[in-house]
Structure 1
Amino acid sequence: MVRAGYAPVMHLRRSERCPRRSPWRDGVLAVCVAAAAVTGALLAPPAGTHLDQVAYLLMLTGALALAVRTRWPVPVLLISTGCMLVYHLRDFPGNAGVIPLLVALYTAVRFGHRRLAVVPALAMVVAIVKDAGGLGGTPADNGSRETFLLLGWLVAAAVFGEVSRQRSAYIRQVEERAAEAERTREEMARRRAGEERLRIARELHDSLTHSISVIKVQAGVAVHLARKRGEEVPPTLLAIQEASGDALRELRATLEVLRTPQAEEDADGAGPASGLDRLPQLVERARSTGLPVRLEITGGRRPLPEETDRAAYRIVQEALTNITRHAGPAAPARVRVDYRPGELAVEIEDDGRATADQPPVPGTGLLGMRERVAALGGTLDARPRPEGGFAVRARLPLAPVPAMTGGKRGAR
């Protein structure tokens, strides 16, 4: 296991060896190195061979090759080494060929080609042998001393490249560990959220599902007995039976969403929750409880985003529930749904007992409405009316959605 510190990296991927960088930077570096090499050669003391076209060609070739050093570090190192060696063997003034070689060697080692450092080392051995009088040359003490100094510079360039490589590897490891830690935290958060959803689903199933099922069964039995006796079934009892059935359906859909939050809709297009397509049934159920409700839908009906469709239905549902509980007996109510360009307007008004002087205390129902509307980027205004009663007005922005085919919910 790698511990904190400069961990050794045995092998680098190609993308790590040659990271992308702006080509013009290497181009500018190559031009600067070429200028430095030529200037150094012109200022150097005369040697056995005067500067000629071959000398300039060797200096410029070794230096300008650095323009592609990050893309092809190995060929650049070989070219710079060859130019340096030929320049030295031809006994041109100065050590201009070494400057590009230092940069090329640093780059090769920096990108993980440490073994290739032996290539310029062998070239320096050949230069030392030549300076010592081998290869048909004339012994030169000063030249041999300078060659040893240049060999030291090459070692320093290689060491500097290795240190830079290790530092980059260390930084990369730190970044990877940080990214892995972040992924781990996100996975733990998702797992905990999933466990909490499952817990809530179990609690809802064990408590609400059983109670609502009992209500539905008892209401069904009462309806059956009334019809068996030839009696008229009370509308309230029918409303209880229908409402309990709808509550069971929506509760089961909610439990399914809690257990599989990414579940897709069934192929038949039946979505997991109610939308405005079930608004007439909702209003009819409210009427069966004795609440006079008038439904008005204006504008051209068109497909709605699923979240907007569901939010509009829930707003109407909660508003009608509040009217039944707080507005007083038989308080007339009006529901208006207006399909406007770019938005959906939903208004629910009643002629109940609420006044501006004595507004009702906001509960979790109104809070849930505001949260739904805010999540969609809309606005909600819920307050007593000046002439008496209460009004809920919501504006939900609409984003264009493609027409659905195959019976998908929303194409109504």
Structure 2
Amino acid sequence: MAELSAAITSLTARARAALRRPPEPLSSRRIYVIIGVIVGIGSLANSWVLVGTLPTLGDLIIMLVASIIVTLIPLHPLPGALAYLCCWTVLLVIPSADLADMTVTNLAFMFFLGRFFRPRPAISLFLTTLFIEVIVLAIVATGDLANSLGSVWFIAVLGALLIPLGALVRFIEASRLADAEQADAQLEEMRLEIAREMHDLVAYSMSQTALRAQRAAADPSYPDQARDEFAALEATASDALHELRLLLRTLRQPSSTQEQPVSTATGLGGIVTDLSTAVSAVSADVSAAGFEITYHYRGDAVPTRIQASVLSRVAREMGANIIRHADPKAPVTMTLTLGPEVIRLVSTNRVRNTDAHLPRSGTGVLGMRERLATIGGTLTTLSDDGSWMVTATVPVAESRSTVLAPSEKRP
């Protein structure tokens, strides 16, 4: 019993909160505007097609006005409801009018009362509708009392059925919106937690690495070759730290204020302006690590900004894998082909130990595949007798080609 009571209390509180929520944006009410239009058409069909008689000019005007007002209620609930009550009053006052002219629109009106008004205003408007009908019929009714009471009873039944139905729809939609907002809040908290952890752990360690490498590069007690290596390490760490800080800044921003994807908002998409230069820089890093590398560049297609950004990072990962796994005594090649149909980046090398297993599709390869998949590209790997080849392929975007002089560079 205690669990049932707690469940009922929770459901009651949730329903109360849902019914008291402020109105949703106008853009989310379009479906109800469409319902209003359908109801208006149904009102005309009810008098014309189903009954089999053409409505009089007065009836037609009333039905059209009622249909238009019902359509506007989802957009402006209170003015629309008051205007509908005025239209209903006019229909009741006209002696020759047929109350059936607004029967169909009354269905939508009662439903909209429950959907777009909190319980107290909805009930107040409903009782006002009944009060107007009772007063007007008592004053101007010329038929028997039974028909007048039947009409009032019919409106009362409509309200008793449709207003709770509209309130139920309001509750369901508000509950779904609350669940979505709760999920968004949890994602926001998770994102901020990731940003804090990355800042406290990764960014700190990276900044310390860059600082120590900088000090070592300036220490005259080290040989010149070692100082050059420290300087290159400091530059690489500083560049990675800069990109990490851009990413952390974006992660700390609420998602509601982000007008661009993370890859664009961080500025990462704007770092690479020339893909060939970016790949050449990677090959230069590999060469500085002690490898004999040849870089080939050919073709005249121009990658898009996002393609250049993704492929430059794929090239970095290729270079990192070469430094970690390749045999420094064997030649290495990196080839960038721009067009005509695809942009292809290929790296080849021999593994450090031919008896060891060749590199597997681990985190690095998986990351390259995932990056390329976001722009419709693919990654393939091939091993043969101790050699390792990785190929990244991206289709050329149409209308993004220009003439460039083919070149071949060797660091």
What residue number does 2:92 align with? 81
What residue number does 1:70 align with? 67
Distance 1:155 1:350, change over 3 A: same
Distance in structure 2 (CA, Å) of the matches to 1:312 and 1:74: 65
SS of equivalent to 2:271: coil
Deviation string 1:216-261 (CA, Å, 9 cap, x unpaired) is 3213324x865xxxxxx33x64244223312222223213312334
Q: 2:391 aligns with which of 390, 393, 403?
A: 393
- Quick check: 1:382–1:391 contact (8 Å CA) kept in 2? yes
Q: Which amino acid aligns with 2:216?
A: Q
Distance in structure 2 (CA, Å) of the matches to 1:350 and 1:198: 39
Consecutive unaligned residues of structure 1, counting only runs of 5 or more, are: 40-55, 88-96, 131-142, 227-232, 404-412
Cα RMSD of the aligned pairs, angstroms, is 4.2
Q: Which amino acid aligns with 2:93?
A: G
Distance in structure 2 (CA, Å) of the matches to 1:281 and 1:174: 57
SS of equivalent to 1:21: helix
Deviation string 1:263-304 (CA, Å, 9 cap, x unpaired) is 8477xx973999653333332232233210111111126353
- Quick check: 1:297–1:337 contact (8 Å CA) kept in 2? yes
Q: 1:26 aligns with which of 32, 40, 43?
A: 40
Please state how far the C-alpha of 1:199 moved relative to its aligned partner: 1.1
Distance 1:204 1:318, change over 3 A: same
Please state how far the C-alpha of 1:325 moved relative to its aligned partner: 3.3
Q: Which amino acid aligns with 1:120?
A: E
Distance 1:218 1:101, change over 3 A: closer
Distance 1:359 1:150, change over 3 A: same
What residue number does 1:317 align with? 316
What residue number does 1:203 align with? 201
What residue number does 2:358 align with? 359
Please state how far the C-alpha of 1:160 moved relative to its aligned partner: 1.5
TM normalised by structure 1 equals 0.68
Q: Which amino acid aligns with 2:365?
A: L
Deviation string 1:162-201 (CA, Å, 9 cap, x unpaired) is 5412320231132122212212211221221122122112
What residue number does 1:280 align with? 280
- Quick check: 2:40–2:68 contact (8 Å CA) kept in 1? no
Distance in structure 2 (CA, Å) of the matches to 1:8 and 1:246: 56
Q: Which amino acid aligns with 1:77?
A: W
2:131 is aligned with 1:123: no
Distance in structure 1 (CA, Å) of the matches to 2:18 and 2:348: 70
Distance 1:22 1:351, change over 3 A: same
Please state how far the C-alpha of 1:338 moved relative to its aligned partner: 0.8
Distance in structure 2 (CA, Å) of the matches to 1:293 and 1:340: 23
Equivalenced residue count is 349
Q: Which amino acid aligns with 2:300?
A: G
Percent identity, aligned pairs only, is: 18
Consecutive unaligned residues of structure 2, counting only runs of 5 or more, are: 1-11, 70-83, 114-124, 252-261, 402-411
SS of equivalent to 2:304: coil
Please state how far the C-alpha of 1:4 moved relative to its aligned partner: 3.5
Distance 1:104 1:212, change over 3 A: closer
Q: Which amino acid aligns with 2:44?
A: A
Distance in structure 1 (CA, Å) of the matches to 2:150 and 2:200: 74
2:237 is aligned with 1:247: yes
2:291 is aligned with 1:291: yes
Distance in structure 2 (CA, Å) of the matches to 1:275 and 1:250: 18
Distance 1:117 1:347, change over 3 A: same
Distance in structure 2 (CA, Å) of the matches to 1:217 and 1:6: 60
Distance in structure 1 (CA, Å) of the matches to 2:162 and 2:173: 17
